[in-house]
Amino acid sequence: MDDIRWFAPNRFCTLVVPPLRARGLSIALEGDRPARLAIAMDAQVAAAAYSYATRHRSVLIHYVWDLPPWRLGRGRPDWVWHVFGRFVRVPRVGRRYPERPGYYSRLRFVANRAREVWVPSAHTAASVQQRLGVACRRVPFCFDSERFTRAPTIRRRGLLTVSRLTPHKNHAAVIRAAARLEPKTPMRIIGSGPERASLERLAATLGVPCSIESDLTETDMVTAYRTAEVVVCPSTFEGFGLTPIEAIATATPVVASDIPPHREFLGASPHFFTLGDDDGLVAAIGAARAGPPPAPDVLSGVTIDAAAERFSAGLMPYLR
């Protein structure tokens, strides 16, 4: 029997597994061998982790990154049961979640039945408590501190944003700001999503040189951060906020929206701007250009080793 069956949708959600194994824990990333504890590291794997935990009578910990408010709206979840290893859902009549109702209804079902729900930030803890009625433990995760590091480099003039091309990531605000800088400043956007065409049109209309890229290698992604003049993180909503953390780790000046997770994890390292304040965003970019690189000390609590220490402390009571 393993100690932990670790359910994760991607490599990022397994960053703490190697140091936990080094502490003597046996952790399986796949398969159906019994384990004393199961952890679902994302909503995408919550249903599979719950079915596994029920089948093997394992303790279940559910990690919830965020609850985007526009996806839940003022709606209520569908009715969900778990019968003979399968989820059965009956759609609610009226006042349903406006987006992905089945997905978030199953997430709520699992969160209410997990032994513990862990979250990365105080902001997510508050939203999970409010929307799902579940008390949470704040257990911040980490960035890839082995990959995103400082190195001598030559920076190129221009702004970089890294995230999905969706409205809440707010890339359009950065394009508008780039158009107001003298001379107009080139932009590089790394990400994919439904807003690509509209962002390209906006950049063309405002005369901003703008490239949009996706599917970069891990090495190319680190190089993109290290060679950027300023990384701008304009998101209106985050559960953790990985992009500014990665930028600070590479000693790149950062401009970030003034939202709770950015304040919680970044301290005074970025130049903050208020959402909806284009003048403030332009001023913050100017200050970032003129100022020194951000101090790395703020990231000491979100390294892989620091997160592994937190996870170990939270998991060990169930493994003794």
CATH number at residue 175: 3.40.50.2000
How many domains would you assign to the chain? 2
What secondary structure letter does DSSP report for 157? S
Tokens standing for residue 105: 């209804």
Please give the span between the terminal C-alpha atoms of the chain, in angstroms, as a whole number.
14
- In this structure, are 136 and 66 located in the same domain? yes
CA triple 123-40-145, angle to 5 deg: 65
- In this structure, are 181 and 296 located in the same domain? yes
- In this structure, are 174 and 290 located in the same domain? yes
Residue 151 lies in a domain: no
**pTM above threshold 0.85:** yes
- In this structure, are 169 and 131 located in the same domain? no
- In this structure, are 254 and 130 located in the same domain? no
Phi then psi dihedrals of residue 278, to 5 deg = -65, -35
Residue 189, strand partner residues: 161, 212
Residue 149 lies in a domain: no
How far, in Å, CA of 192 to CA of 165, rounded?
5
User: What CATH number has the domain bearing residue 38?
Assistant: 3.40.50
- In this structure, are 178 and 265 located in the same domain? yes
pLDDT for 177: 97
Per-residue confidence of the chain (320 residues) as pLDDT tens digits? 999 999 999 999 999 999 999 999 999 999 999 999 999 999 999 999 999 999 999 999 999 999 999 999 999 999 999 998 899 999 998 899 999 999 999 999 999 999 999 999 999 999 999 999 999 999 999 999 999 999 888 888 899 999 999 999 999 999 999 999 988 899 999 999 999 999 999 999 999 999 999 989 999 999 999 999 999 999 999 999 999 999 999 999 999 999 999 999 999 999 999 999 999 999 999 999 998 999 888 999 999 999 999 999 999 999 98
pLDDT for 63: 98
- Residue 300, C-beta contacts closer than 8 angstroms, at least 6 positions apart: 306
Residue 152 lies in a domain: no
pLDDT for 226: 96
- In this structure, are 79 and 35 located in the same domain? yes
Residue 147 lies in a domain: no
Can you give the residue range of the structural domain that contains 45?
A: 2-142+303-318
pLDDT for 213: 96
How far, in Å, CA of 57 to CA of 192, rounded?
40
- In this structure, are 15 and 133 located in the same domain? yes
How far, in Å, CA of 59 to CA of 319, rounded?
10
- In this structure, are 44 and 163 located in the same domain? no
Residue 275 lies in a domain: yes
Residue 41 lies in a domain: yes
- In this structure, are 199 and 275 located in the same domain? yes
Residue 197 lies in a domain: yes
CB atoms within 10 A of CB 93: 7
Question: Taken in order 234, 240, 244, 246, is the CA torsion positive or negative?
Answer: negative
- In this structure, are 206 and 231 located in the same domain? yes
- In this structure, are 29 and 84 located in the same domain? yes
**Long-range contacts at 125-134 (CB < 8 A, ≥ 24 apart):** 127/66, 127/67, 127/69, 128/64, 128/67, 131/67, 131/72, 132/67, 132/107, 132/108
86-90/79-83 β-pairing: antiparallel
Residue 18 lies in a domain: yes
